């Protein structure tokens, strides 16, 4: 079969294959979207295997017991954890907005008595030189207890904080109340607080922590200079808080948050107080005066200024031809007399059928936009 016949016979098949290929490419590379939500924080790529009681970077202290020594890693007091650096993803909010949900991986370990499960999330503003300051604290939530209902270090729980606003560059932390329980018979069950297993082992990540009894609330400062063997600031290299935040912006964020517009009424349109009826052909009298028709929309009358200019290629702002101030009655069209410049008078007389000018009216005071329109001015009648 000749090639031309073969190509003609295969054309429908080739067209179908090309269409299918184009569709597949389009589906593989979807177009841009205008989504107003995004995530930041940990990608939750590993399970939580470390906890807040035993795996933070404090030296702790030893308590001598008869025949033994009991080591307490740190105070069992209020604690804040946040990712200062992540191997993947960003630990900080990419823009201002509202944190509408938090996904936390892990659970609270039990040392016998039921552990305290109440936790919070906080918006932290980074400080120059390191550390952070607490801006806002969420309402209380409950973390699952390890082993209860199958909860483990791989369990991801979603929380929805209300009114947790952040600015661009803020962290979102995990905040607990320690959970220390004193000894009743023997050693205390939670000497360093409840072991909240919410930390993963991730190379090249650094998680910061701050411990202070009643010292991690709104307005508290977590300074790297506040350190001790049992509380204060600590940088925990190779660890990552398993927390991921969803950030809403624009219309998806509360108007109380930076950049949020949800619930705001659209601004009322601003209408001009003055307008220039068109088309408009005005005559210049023998004294070089032209009456420009202007309409007043305002109920209280319209004071303002009208300026006439000639647009040229050399001067985009236009050559000044004349101007006048006026006050017009409400809801009426008035004729404002403008005394034209000598140049304007000569140009009008030469133009014959009419010289095109740009008229600009400005209200006084300038609380509405200027209005512009083209008018034509013809020569004086004798």
What is the tens place of the pLDDT at every residue in 352-372? 788 999 999 999 887 778 899
- Provide the domain count of the chain: 2
- Transcribe 233-291 into DSSP letters: EEEEEEEEE-EEEEEE-GGGSBTTSTT--BTPPPPPPPPPSEE--SS-EEEB-TTSEEE
297 with 328, same domain: the answer is yes
Q: How far is 197 from 146, CA to CA, in rounded Å?
A: 8
Contacts of 74 (CB under 8 A, 6+ apart): 56, 58, 60, 192, 193, 211, 229, 230, 231
Asked if pLDDT for residue 35 goes beyond 70, the answer is no
Q: Which pLDDT score is estimated for 268?
A: 67
Q: Which pLDDT score is estimated for 66?
A: 79
Asked if pLDDT for residue 47 goes beyond 80, the answer is yes
1 is a domain residue: no
Q: Which pLDDT score is estimated for 380?
A: 64
Where is average pLDDT lowest: 221-230, 253-262, 267-276?
Answer: 267-276
The whole domain housing 373 covers 274-378
4 is a domain residue: no
59 with 116, same domain: the answer is yes
Domain end residue (candidates: 188, 219, 252) = 252
9 is a domain residue: no
Range among 130-144, 302-316, 363-377 rated most confident: 130-144
231 is a domain residue: yes
Beta-strand relationship, 281-283 and 371-378: parallel
120 with 150, same domain: the answer is yes
- Which of the two residues, 320 and 183, has the higher pLDDT score? 320
Average pLDDT for 33-41 = 74
344 with 229, same domain: the answer is no
Confirm if 73 and 278 have CB atoms less than 8 A apart. no
**Reported confidence tier of residue 34, pLDDT bands at 50, 70, 90:** very low
Q: How far is 106 from 342, CA to CA, in rounded Å?
A: 85
Q: How far is 74 from 54, CA to CA, in rounded Å?
A: 8
310 with 372, same domain: the answer is yes
324 with 243, same domain: the answer is no
204 with 301, same domain: the answer is no
**Reported confidence tier of residue 269, pLDDT bands at 50, 70, 90:** low
97 is a domain residue: yes
Structure tokens at 158: 């979603």
First to last CA, the chain: 90
Average pLDDT for 70-88 = 96
Q: How far is 372 from 1, CA to CA, in rounded Å?
A: 72
Q: What is the CA radius of gyration of the chain?
A: 37
> CB atoms < 10 A from the CB of 332, how many?
12
For the question of whether the overall pTM of this predicted structure is more than 0.85, the answer is no
């Amino acid at each position: 079969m000749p090639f031309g016949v073969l190509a003609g016979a295969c054309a429908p098949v080739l067209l179908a294959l090309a269409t299918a290929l184009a569709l597949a490419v389009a589906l593989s590379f979807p177009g841009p979207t205008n989504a107003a939500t995004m995530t930041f924080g940990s990608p939750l790529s590993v399970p939580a295997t470390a906890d807040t009681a035993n795996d933070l970077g404090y030296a702790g202290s030893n308590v001598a017991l008869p025949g033994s020594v009991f080591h307490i890693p740190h105070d069992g007091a209020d604690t804040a954890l946040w990712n200062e650096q992540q191997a993947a993803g960003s630990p900080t909010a990419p823009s201002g907005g509202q944190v509408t949900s938090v996904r936390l991986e892990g659970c609270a370990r039990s040392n016998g008595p039921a552990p305290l499960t109440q936790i919070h999330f906080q918006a932290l503003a980074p400080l120059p030189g390191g550390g952070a300051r607490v801006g806002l604290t969420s309402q209380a939530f409950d973390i699952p207890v390890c082993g209860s209902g199958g909860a483990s270090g791989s369990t991801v729980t979603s929380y929805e904080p209300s009114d947790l606003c952040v600015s661009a560059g803020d962290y979102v932390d995990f905040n607990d109340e320690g959970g220390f329980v004193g000894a009743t018979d023997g050693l205390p069950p939670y000497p360093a607080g409840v072991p909240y297993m919410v930390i993963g082992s991730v190379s090249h990540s650094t998680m910061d922590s701050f411990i202070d009894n009643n010292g991690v609330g709104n307005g508290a400062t977590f300074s790297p200079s506040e350190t001790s063997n049992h509380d204060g600031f600590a940088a925990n290299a190779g660890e990552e808080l398993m927390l991921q935040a969803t950030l809403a912006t624009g219309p998806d964020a509360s108007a109380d948050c930076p950049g949020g517009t949800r619930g705001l009424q659209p601004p009322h349109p601003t209408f001009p107080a003055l307008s220039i009826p068109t088309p408009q052909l005005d005559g210049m009298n023998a004294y070089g005066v032209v009456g420009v028709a202007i309409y007043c929309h305002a109920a209280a009358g319209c004071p303002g200024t009208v300026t006439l200019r000639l647009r040229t290629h050399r001067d985009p702002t236009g050559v000044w031809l004349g101007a006048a101030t006026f006050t017009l009655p409400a809801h009426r069209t008035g004729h404002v007399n403008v005394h034209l410049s000598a140049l304007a008078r000569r140009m009008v007389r030469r133009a014959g059928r009419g010289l095109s000018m740009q008229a600009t009216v400005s209200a006084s005071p300038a609380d509405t936009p200027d209005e512009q329109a083209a008018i034509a001015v013809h020569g004086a009648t004798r």
